């Protein structure tokens, strides 16, 4: 029985890694749009859906916009961000390996990022 409990605890800590909310990636597009990919731990109630991942983007002098990425994600350890030459589109490859594209000129809904990297704290 102790072996089973240890195996479950080990799985939770290595695979799910609870309480690891925060910034996964951040960057600024060629036109000055600040972008942040963050993840939020959903808590123990959603054991099969550990993290919610969202993109937040803010054009210079604009308001933050929130873009949906995933609400049933495992923890993302990293995320690769690439901007189009004009900065109007963001392409990401997330921790799940899926490729996604976002039109930064068309926000999905207003929303402030729950986490910001230190270099963007002044943009709250």
Tell which residue, 106, 95, 86, 105, has the closest CA to residue 25.
95
Would 106 be classed as within a structural domain?
yes
Give residue-wise pLDDT tens across range 12-52. Answer: 555 666 667 899 999 999 999 999 999 998 887 766 678 89
- Residue 7: strand, helix, or coil: helix
Tell which residue, 107, 108, 111, 106, has the closest CA to residue 124.
111
Bigger pLDDT: 4 vs 63:
63
Q: How far apart (Å, rounded) are the C-alpha atoms in residues 70 and 91?
A: 15
Q: By residue range, what is the domain housing residue 112?
A: 19-118
Place of tokens 């873009």: 67
Length of the chain: 124
Beta-carbon contacts of 29 under 8 Å, excluding residues fewer than 6 positions away, are 35, 83, 84, 87, 88, 90, 104
Give residue-wise pLDDT tens across range 83-117. Answer: 999 999 999 999 899 999 999 988 789 999 999 88
**Chain center to CA of 16:** 15
Residue 74 pLDDT grade (very low, low, confident, very high; cuts 50, 70, 90): confident
Please give the tally of structural domains in the chain: 1
Would 1 be classed as within a structural domain?
no
Would 35 be classed as within a structural domain?
yes
Residues 74 and 34: beta-carbon distance below 8 Å: no
Q: How far apart (Å, rounded) are the C-alpha atoms in residues 35 and 58?
A: 7
Question: Whole-prediction pTM value?
Answer: 0.83
pLDDT of residue 58: 94
Would 93 be classed as within a structural domain?
yes
Would 124 be classed as within a structural domain?
no
């Amino acid at each position: 029985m102790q072996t089973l409990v240890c195996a479950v605890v080990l799985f939770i800590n290595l695979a799910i890694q609870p309480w690891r909310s925060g910034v996964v990636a951040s960057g600024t597009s060629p036109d000055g749009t600040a972008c942040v990919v963050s993840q939020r731990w959903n808590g123990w109630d959603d054991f099969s859906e550990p993290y919610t991942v969202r993109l937040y983007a803010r054009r210079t002098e604009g308001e933050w916009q929130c873009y949906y990425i995933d609400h049933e994600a495992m923890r993302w350890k990293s995320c690769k961000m690439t901007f189009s030459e004009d900065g109007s589109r963001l392409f990401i490859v997330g921790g799940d390996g899926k490729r996604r594209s976002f039109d930064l000129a068309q926000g999905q809904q207003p929303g402030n990022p729950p986490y910001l990297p230190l270099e963007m704290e002044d943009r709250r």
